[in-house]
């Protein structure tokens, strides 16, 4: 009998632990710790992704999975809004000149295009618009005004292809196809079957057109027809297994997928995926979490193994998105989960900004009075710690569970006065007890921000009275005393803040007195403007670092569950929290953080939600003999 070495030219490796990445895909190794043979195998699955900021269906989609664009579509009404996906979340892009649905997309995020569609008239259009990653410009005119539902297009901005379609309500389904060179369209050869509402993908010289319906638009005419284009001619290929309309497609003539769509009569939105291997179509074991039609997609080479379905229609327009991956890597999407409840319900509690998810500290807050309580978190439960010396809420706290410095905040009002006072008192925590620091902030204020450590921290922004004013003041703390630093570019209070060091602080949103969307970054010597938040809000939480932060909740203007992430230059959406809340405590990193307590809009909260960022790992399987 031949040995593994004789067959493959190398011996099986002996490893004490399994590899953490997929670089050993297809290889076999012996795990000495578990006394088993193992390998990495391919996995095919749909998984949840961050939702669009705006629900929609019948939109144009193009680009790859991790640099994807969704534009236009129907909310209703028809929209001109564009959103861009970076693999983690969605951010608002440029606005098209014309709102519409059934506009087909092709190309990449930085060099894309949409063509045709149904305008608010609701007339068909011959318009083409080109995208450069930030703004839209007018492109060449199609030879005919036409709807192109289900993204019946393929190729790039300079080598595009559009095919099939619908010339309008109750009108014909043409067989024409058109090629685009980046400035003008020319007629290509016709498809073999007149169809619309079919799935398309590929390149100008390797495209496919699958399913859809033949005229007239009737369930009895829904098809499983498959055609391929080689740059010159359309040829019929093997049929798919399930007839459907308004499905989405990815890949090309070598390898492809079709997913979702409407199976009629019913109507029923399907969650099924079919795979094309260049020879035949098979039904995939991977099903979408939400059956939908009219979703967007990624297109072209690579999108048969890494795609995205964003938005779409169930019984109404939806915003949720899912990623499809066929890979040796197991992906666990970022998500929130319930943590331990705090001992009491409060708002205005502040957290040690650089605590961790398994070693956290919160203090102070407000019930019907200002409190001195502090609590520590071990990753599962909260336990009561030493009390603050000054009852306060809406303060800021630099440092960690075992070395923290808190300052500022709102304190109980003097007897006989109607409004609370702001504090400048500084207290330090050593993991056991709070002690007063004899040196305080030069300016008493509440709803300020903090970052850094107990020995090298900074306190910035805030609000104070009298007279009522917003501060841009930055004060740096060396563990003993405060010194004044550069002012923020915009004075504000009640914003979101984080920062691991005083050389990389982040402040976003807040009140000035109206809610704002501005982002400000500090590099240790000056504040500069960063990427604006998608919407103005205040009273939100944040944790992480200047180049990788998570922020959510707050007022915009009502209390929200929306969560966004910052990459050092731009904000994009992230999965929402389960509970809406404002003025919550938060700490941790962009890969492992939490929010606790806050105000729901009707009551103070004792809830904790834990955030765990996206993770990937090799799909390791143990080999057994049967």
- The structure's pTM equals 0.89
Q: Same structural domain for residues 34 and 88?
A: no
234, two tokens: 């359309």
Residue 370, phi then psi, degrees to nearest 5 = -80, 140
Range of the domain at 92: 45-332
Same-domain check for residues 149 and 292: yes
| Count of C-beta atoms within a 10 Å radius of residue 474 | 23
Answer yes or no: is pLDDT of 204 > 90.
Answer: yes
Confidence (pLDDT) at 169: 80
Separation of CA 401 from chain center:
30
Q: What is the pLDDT of residue 26?
A: 60
Examine residue 618 and state whether it is found in any structural domain, yes or no. no
Note whether 304 and 400 are same-domain residues. Answer: no
What is the tens place of the pLDDT at every residue in 581-596? Answer: 999 999 999 999 999 9
- Final residue of a domain: which of 310, 332, 354? 332
H helix and E strand count, the chain: 1, 59
In a domain, 430, yes or no: yes
Question: Does 621 reside within a domain?
Answer: no
Helix, strand or coil, per DSSP, at residue 373 = coil
Please write down the long-range contacts of 367-371, taking CB distance under 8 Å and 24 or more positions apart: 367/604, 369/412, 370/410, 370/411, 370/412, 370/420, 371/346
What per-residue confidence (pLDDT) applies to 626? 53
Q: Domain for residue 386, yes or no?
A: yes
Distance between CA 416 and CA 286 in Å, rounded?
67
Tell me if 217 is assigned to some domain: yes
Residue 313 pairs in a beta bridge with: 293, 317
How confident is the model at residue 338, as a pLDDT?
98
Determine what percent of the chain falls in helix, strand and coil, rounding each to the nearest 5.
0, 45, 55
Q: How far is CA 342 from CA 93, 339, 371, 388, 561, in A?
A: 40, 9, 14, 17, 20
pLDDT > 80? residue 556: yes
Task: Specify if 619 maps to a domain.
Answer: no
Looking at the structure of the chain, the number of domains it has is 3
Helix (H, G, I), strand (E, B) or coil at 147: strand
Q: What CATH code is carried by the domain that includes residue 253?
A: 2.120.10.80
Q: Are residues 239 and 256 in the same domain?
A: yes
Instruction: Determine which of 96-100, 336-340, 410-414, 540-544 has the lowest per-residue pLDDT on average.
Output: 410-414
61 and 198, same structural domain?
yes
Distance CA 214, CA 317 (A): 25
- Does any domain span residue 626? no
Q: Are residues 452 and 325 part of one domain?
A: no
pLDDT bin (cut points 50, 70, 90) of residue 419 is low
Domain end marker among 332, 358, 391? 332
SS3 label, residue 438: coil
Chain position carrying tokens 């670089």: 23
Q: Which long-range contacts (CB under 8 A, 24 or more apart) does 20-25 make?
A: 20/617, 20/618, 21/329, 21/616, 21/617, 21/618, 22/327, 22/328, 22/329, 22/618, 22/619, 24/618, 25/328, 25/618
514, exposed or middle or buried, with CB in 10 Å at 0-12, 13-18, 19+? exposed
Cα distances (Å, whole numbers) of residue 531 to 338, 369, 499, 570, 597: 30, 38, 16, 5, 28
| Residue 612, burial from CB neighbour count under 10 angstroms (0-12, 13-18, 19+) | middle
- Looking at the fold, whether 340 and 488 belong to one and the same domain comes out as yes
User: Do 254 and 371 fall within a single domain?
Assistant: no
The reply to whether 300 and 152 lie within a common domain is yes
Six token digits for residue 588:
């941790």
Check whether residue 254 and residue 355 sit in a common domain.
no
Q: Name, in order, each residue with C-beta under 8 angstroms of 442's C-beta and a sequence gap of 6 or more.
A: 424, 473, 475, 482, 484
**pLDDT of the residue at 415:** 56
Instruction: Using the 3D structure, point to which of 287, 314, 332 is the last residue of a domain.
Output: 332
**Closest Cα to residue 243, out of 227, 258, 228?**
258
Residue 78: phi and psi, rounded to 5, are -65, 145
- pLDDT at residue 417 greater than cutoff 60: no
Label residue 182 exposed, middle or buried (CB < 10 Å: 0-12, 13-18, 19+). middle
Residues in Cβ contact with 373 at an 8 Å cutoff, skipping those fewer than 6 apart: 343, 344, 363, 364, 365, 384, 387, 388
User: Residues 367, 413: contact at Cβ < 8 Å?
Assistant: no
Residues 251 and 366 in one domain: no
Comparing 37-51, 226-240, 365-379, the range with the smallest average pLDDT is 37-51
530 and 584, same domain (yes or no): yes
Q: Is residue 512 part of a domain?
A: yes
């Amino acid at each position: 009998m031949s040995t593994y070495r004789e067959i493959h030219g190398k011996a099986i490796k002996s490893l004490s632990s399994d590899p953490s990445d997929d670089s050993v895909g297809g290889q076999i190794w012996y795990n000495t710790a578990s006394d088993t043979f193992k390998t990495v195998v391919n996995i095919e699955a749909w998984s949840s992704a961050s939702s669009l900021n705006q629900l929609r269906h019948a939109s144009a989609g193009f680009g790859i999975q991790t640099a994807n664009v969704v534009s236009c579509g129907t909310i209703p009404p028809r929209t001109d809004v564009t959103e861009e996906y970076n693999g983690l979340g969605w951010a608002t892009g440029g606005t098209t000149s014309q709102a519409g649905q059934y506009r087909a997309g092709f190309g990449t995020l930085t060099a894309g295009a949409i063509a045709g569609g149904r305008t608010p008239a609701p007339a068909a259009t011959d318009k083409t618009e080109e995208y450069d990653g930030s703004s839209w410009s007018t492109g060449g005119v199609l030879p005919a005004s036409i709807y192109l539902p289900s993204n019946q297009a393929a190729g790039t901005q300079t080598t595009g292809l559009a095919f099939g379609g619908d010339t309008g309500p109750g009108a014909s389904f043409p067989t024409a196809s058109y090629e685009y060179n980046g400035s003008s369209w020319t007629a290509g050869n016709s498809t073999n079957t007149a169809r619309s509402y079919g799935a398309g993908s590929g390149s100008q010289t390797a495209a496919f057109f699958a399913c859809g319906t033949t005229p007239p638009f009737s369930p009895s005419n829904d098809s499983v027809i498959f055609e391929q284009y080689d740059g010159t001619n359309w040829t019929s290929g093997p049929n798919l297994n399930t007839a459907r309309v308004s499905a989405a497609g990815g890949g090309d003539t070598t390898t492809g997928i079709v997913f979702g769509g409407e199976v009629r009569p019913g109507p029923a939105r399907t969650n099924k995926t079919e795979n094309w291997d260049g020879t035949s179509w098979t039904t995939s074991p991977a099903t979408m979490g939400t059956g939908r039609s009219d979703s967007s997609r990624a297109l072209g080479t690579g999108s048969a193994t890494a795609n995205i379905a964003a938005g779409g229609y169930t019984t109404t327009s939806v915003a949720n998105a899912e990623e499809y991956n066929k890979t040796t890597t197991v992906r666990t999407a970022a998500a929130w989960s319930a943590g331990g409840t705090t001992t009491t319900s409060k708002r205005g509690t502040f957290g040690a900004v650089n605590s961790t998810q398994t070693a956290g500290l919160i203090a102070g807050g407000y019930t019907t009075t200002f409190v001195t309580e502090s609590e520590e978190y071990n990753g599962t439960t909260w336990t009561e710690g030493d009390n603050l010396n000054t009852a306060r809420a809406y303060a800021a706290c630099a440092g960690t569970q075992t070395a923290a410095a808190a300052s500022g905040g709102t304190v109980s009002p003097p007897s006989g006065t109607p409004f609370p006072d702001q504090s400048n008192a500084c207290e330090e925590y050593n993991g056991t007890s709070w002690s007063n620091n004899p040196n305080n902030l030069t300016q008493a204020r509440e709803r300020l921000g903090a970052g850094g450590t107990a020995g090298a921290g900074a306190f910035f922004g805030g609000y104070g009275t009298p007279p009522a004013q917003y501060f841009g003041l930055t004060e740096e703390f060396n563990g003993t005393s405060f010194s004044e630093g550069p002012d923020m570019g915009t004075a504000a209070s009640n914003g979101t803040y984080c920062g691991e060091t005083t050389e990389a602080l982040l402040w976003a949103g807040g009140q000035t007195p109206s809610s704002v969307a501005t982002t400000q970054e500090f590099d240790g010597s000056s504040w500069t403007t960063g990427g604006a938040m998608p919407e103005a809000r205040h009273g939100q939480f944040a944790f992480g670092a200047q180049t990788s932060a998570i922020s959510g909740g707050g007022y915009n203007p009502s209390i929200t569950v929306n969560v966004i992430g910052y990459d050092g230059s731009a904000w994009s959406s992230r999965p929402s929290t389960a509970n809406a809340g404002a003025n919550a405590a938060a700490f941790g990193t962009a890969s492992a953080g939490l929010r606790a307590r806050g105000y729901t809009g009707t009551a103070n909260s004792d809830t904790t939600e834990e955030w765990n960022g996206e993770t990937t790992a090799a799909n390791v399987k143990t080999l057994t003999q049967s």
